Copies of this chain bind each other. A is one copy, B any other.
Amino acid sequence: MRRICVDMDEVMADLLTEHLRQYNQHFEEELTPEDLVGKGLWVAAPDDRQLQLRAFLDAEGFFEDLPVMPNAQEVLKDLSERFEIFIATSAMVVPNSLGSKYRWLRRHFSFIPPSHYVFCGDKSILRADYLIDDQPRNLLAFEGQGLLYSAPHNLMLTEFVRVNNWLDVARYFESVDPAA
């Protein structure tokens, strides 16, 4: 059975909406996702706000209550009947998030067993056929077929197979033979 690895932040969990909400509130700004096209919040924010941007993520509970991306649950549930699904998240850059990420996955994706969670850093470690990820560097490190999940920061890139949302993911795998 073919194996699909799925990134969490910006693919399963809508991290940007919450990060941006906290940023706008703290700095009294009104940035929108459209303002972040081609760069993302880290690049859009001035240098003297980087530490605070990071502090939002490090705060206890930030990762606990992130919204689920639209259609992620139904599509992954369907895919899990035809493919082996693993969750592969770069959790080590925010070690405070480890417990929260585990609980978030149990709560929202209870059909994926914890034995299929991979909290890692360098995604070249993954032995899988597909990786769905919003970070180009992760797709470049990965040895299988990468699918770039659209996020404002990556919208200008043209060198990857792109999926814009979970319905796109479903369509992509409709024509893939799970046993091939």
Contact = CB atoms under 8 A, between A and B. Distances in A.
Interface in A68-88: 86, 88
A121 B126 contact: no
A102 B113 contact: no
Nearest to A95: B102
Copies in the complex: 2
Nearest to A93: B114
A49 B125 CA distance: 37
Contacts of A37: none
Contacts of A93: 114-115
B116 A91 contact: no
B125 A121 contact: no
A109 to B, nearest CB: 13
Interface of A: 3, 5, 86, 88, 91-93, 95-96, 98-99, 102-103, 113-122, 124-128, 143
Given A93-B115, A118-B125, 17 more contacts: A5-B125, A86-B125, A91-B119, A92-B114, A92-B117, A95-B102, A95-B114, A98-B102, A98-B119, A113-B121, A115-B122, A116-B121, A117-B120, A117-B121, A119-B119, A125-B127, A127-B127
